[in-house]
Amino acid sequence: MTAPLLDIRGLTKSFAGHPVLADIDLQVQPGSMTAVVGASGCGKTTLLRLIAGFETPDAGTVAIAGRQVASPTTSVAPHRRGVGYVAQDGALFPHLTVGQNIAYGLRGDRASVRRRVDELLETVSLDPSYASRRPHQLSGGQQQRVALARALARQPVLMLLDEPFTALDTGLRAATRKAVAATLAETGVTTLLVTHDQEEALSIADQVAVMRDGHFTQVGSPQEVYRHPTDRFTAEFLGDCIAVPCVVTGGVADSVLGRVPVRANDGPGTLILRPEQLVATVVSDSGQLDGVGTVLAVEFLGHDVLLTVDPAGEGAPVVVRQHSLSPPPIDAKVRLQVIGDGVVLT
């Protein structure tokens, strides 16, 4: 493993005696993207402001590219940290053109600044002709990309993005997210993005850090934190969960849903699965009814349907997510099958 580009150790911050960040550890590898995901008010912006240098930690350290930039007693000025920061409102200067916004902070003669602005516009997939426009003449997604270009202008080694896509509506959001992720990957700049949107974090990042009340509950790859959450909060925060009591013996969890492979020690616990891991197959009344459940409700969501199934009369109903083509009707008898492995929490 190479040395991390961003290395945060024991970072702690209170405002007026109210703890906001507690003992945060985070390493971000060069050229990668980490998403910090958490509910509103959990401390995400505060974390970015500490890294950028707009706040000083009460305890702990921040190192960027091997150089310590923050501790309770030492602080490197924000503009000397090699950090690009796109704040939550992403605000462009409304009275300046797009070109002037991007050129803000660039040095050199007019021609070289002009050339660099064109390059940066191209980098964020905007035509150079946009340089003469004012921010209000751009769509939300285009404004986001100009804000990114402005932050890239100083060639930061670390880019900090605070909920960059929140203001955009669904379609534009997915497209802008892809464009920005591609740009950042191309420029090779290490990125830390914060968001309250789980799907965004899971889809865009190489590493996801789940934040709750100023601490990380789990840090790992998107697949790891989604498929193998280490606690109930993380499991439920990242998506819908099925939770049923189980008993583990030799790496197999026995529950009302049958036998499911798990990585867990022997004993009782709670089996956690994602709704898409369950498949409900309709059975005819004539067969044997062992392990057969009843559909209690069908919720149409467009491309998916959620089936609420009473599993064989035992335990609480479970919710199955499947494609919405010809779902079983209410009261249908279904057999539930589990795909993949589960997680056991005790």
Q: What is the number of other CB atoms lying within 10 angstroms of the CB of residue 312? A: 17
Q: Could you tell me which of 75, 71, 76 has the C-alpha nearest to residue 10?
A: 71
Report the distance separating Cα 177 and Cα 199, nearest Å: 11
Give me the DSSP letters along 39-79: -TTSSHHHHHHHHHTSS--SEEEEEETTEEEE-SS-B--GG
CB of 87 to ligand ADP, least distance (A): 11
Of 46, 143, 183, 217, which one interacts with ligand ADP (CB under 6 A)? 46
Using CB under 6 A, which of the segments 34-42, 103-111, 233-241, 338-346 binds ligand ADP? 34-42
Rank residues 194 and 260 by Cβ distance to ligand ADP and give the closer one. Answer: 194
- Rounded to 5 degrees, φ, ψ at 117 are -60, -45
86: partner contacted, choices Mg ion, ligand ADP, none (Cβ within 5-8 A by kind): none
Among 51, 49, 43, smallest CA distance to 70 is for: 51
* Tokens encoding 289: 């009814």
Partner whose binding site includes residue 234, from ligand ADP, Mg ion, none (CB under 5 to 8 Å by kind): none
- Could you tell me which residues are beta bridge partners of residue 139? none
When the beta carbons of 40 and 288 are compared against ligand ADP, the nearer one is 40
Contact mark string toward ligand ADP, 57..96, x via CB under 6 A: ----------------------------------------
The residues that touch Mg ion, with contacts defined as CB under 5 A, are: 44-45
Element holding 334 (H helix, E strand): strand 333-338
C-alpha to C-alpha distance for 302 and 30, rounded to whole angstroms: 40
The strand pairing partners of 231, in sequence order, are none
What is the nearest approach in angstroms of ligand ADP to the Cβ of residue 202?
A: 18
Q: How far is the CB of 44 from Mg ion (least distance, A)?
A: 5
45 binds ligand ADP (CB under 6 A): yes
Which listed residue (6, 28, 35, 43) binds ligand ADP by CB under 6 A? 43
Binder among 22, 35, 42, 242 for ligand ADP (CB under 6 A)? 42
210 binding partner (options Mg ion, ligand ADP, none; Cβ < 5 to 8 Å by kind)? none
Q: How many CA atoms lie within 13 A of 231 on its CB side?
A: 9
Q: Which is nearer to Mg ion, 53 or 293 (CB)?
A: 53
**Per-residue contact string for residues 236-265; x = within reach of ligand ADP by CB under 6 A:** ------------------------------
Minimal CB distance residue for Mg ion? 45
Per CB under 6 A, does 12 bind ligand ADP? Answer: no
Half-sphere exposure of 62 (CA within 13 A, CB side): 29
By CB under 6 A, how many residues form the interface with ligand ADP? 10
- Taking CB within 5 to 8 Å according to partner kind, which of ligand ADP, Mg ion, none is near residue 53? none
- Alpha-carbon distance of 279 to 336, in angstroms, equals 6
Q: Name the token pair of 246.
A: 């189980």
Helix (H) or strand (E) holding 242: strand 242-249
CB of 40 or CB of 73, closer to ligand ADP: 40
Q: Which residues bind ligand ADP (CB under 6 A)?
A: 15, 20, 38, 40-46
